[in-house]
Amino acid sequence: MAIKRTAFTAGMCVFALSSAMAEMPHRNSPTTPVGDQSWPIVLKEAKRNPHERLWSKQEIEQAQAKCMILLKDLEVDADYEAPLREGSDCGSPAPMRLMSIGSGAQRVVFQPAPTVSCEMIAGLAQWLQQDVQKLARRHLGAPIQRIEPMSSYSCRNAYGRSEGRLSEHGRANALDIAAFSNDKVQLVSVEADWGLTQREIAERGHEPEAMASAGRIEPLGKPQALGAAPSQPSQTAAGIAPAPMGLQDLKPGIPGVILFGARPAMGFDGLSRLGGPKGPVVTPNKGEFLRAVHKAACRTFGTVLGPEANRTHRNHFHVDMAERAQQTRICE
């Protein structure tokens, strides 16, 4: 029996469970190294054990029942996939292929659709609803509509090492995010829009200039003397007296004051000529948005790694639902 479509919306969820699922192979097992999919480390394909233990019918039923509880009140569009099992550690009894989270203007589509656990979907939904969309409106002027995953389920150790602990990717409990987008700003890329990392600033050795390039310091330059008129050709020789200096001309000369998007013709008058004040115009700041959503993710996920963590994560965010002793979280 094929796995039917599963959608969780406004407390309603429908799913089909087949006892044959316990014996079904994973139809989407990776056939190419993750490195061929733009992952920063080229990994060898995990070796399959022909005698590996498959998930029992009871384990699958319990896992899907837990999914019902976790996702029942969320607006999620996802498909159940065949249970994953590779070796003795990798896999998930109830993995899902995630298409979107949210509805209407708040709907976020995942392209390509990642394979993740229900716990991961619930964490992503919380992060999007509580943090990402609010920060997107603040820094980008519009909510996020699409997320571009780089990697999801992958049976491997952390960082692709031959030895060491199993990565949360091996449990379908992690997601790597390369970019966000909406119709207003098109693409917000972690690699292109994060700005310089502290590591790169130290390597360059010019901290003020590098920090300015990273979007953290706005170089002020040398302020003009208060009230000094801007340099311009004198018109007195032609018998035309120079125009009196107005308040708009004074503003750039005030030390420490920087004008963004000033409208000289309107001076200090912030009222619309059509009547009534206009709302603030949001100038998209992709770098501030990325740093804000990265910081906010640390309140939801067990692990959050980004460009500041190391060179491996220079081009993406890694988020996972790892559980540690004393609820310890890693945020880098």
Q: Kindly give the confidence (pLDDT) of every residue in the chain, 332 residues in length, as a single tens digit, with 9 standing for 90 and above.
A: 333 344 554 344 434 433 444 434 443 434 333 334 444 443 444 444 555 678 999 999 999 999 999 999 999 999 999 999 998 789 999 999 999 999 999 999 999 999 999 999 999 999 999 999 999 999 999 999 999 999 999 998 877 666 668 899 999 999 999 999 999 888 999 999 999 999 999 988 855 554 555 554 344 344 434 344 444 444 444 444 544 444 444 444 434 433 334 444 444 444 444 455 555 556 789 999 999 999 999 999 999 999 999 999 999 999 999 887 767 889 99
- Structural tokens at position 319: 């988020």
Q: Are 331 and 298 in contact (CB under 8 A)?
A: yes
Other CB atoms within 10 A of residue 114 CB: 25
pLDDT of 53 reads 73
Cβ density class 118-139: b for 16+ within 10 Å, e for less: bbbbbbbbbbbbebbbebbeeb
- Note the pLDDT of residue 185: 87
CA nearest to 95, candidates 75, 71, 120: 120
249 in Cβ contact with 230 (< 8 Å): yes
Which ranges of the chain would DSSP assign to H, the alpha helix? 57-71, 118-127, 133-139, 190-193, 198-204, 207-213, 247-250, 286-297
Amino acid at 324: R
pTM of the model: 0.66
Domain ranges of the chain: 5-19+54-194+283-331
Q: State both tokens at 167.
A: 């990565």
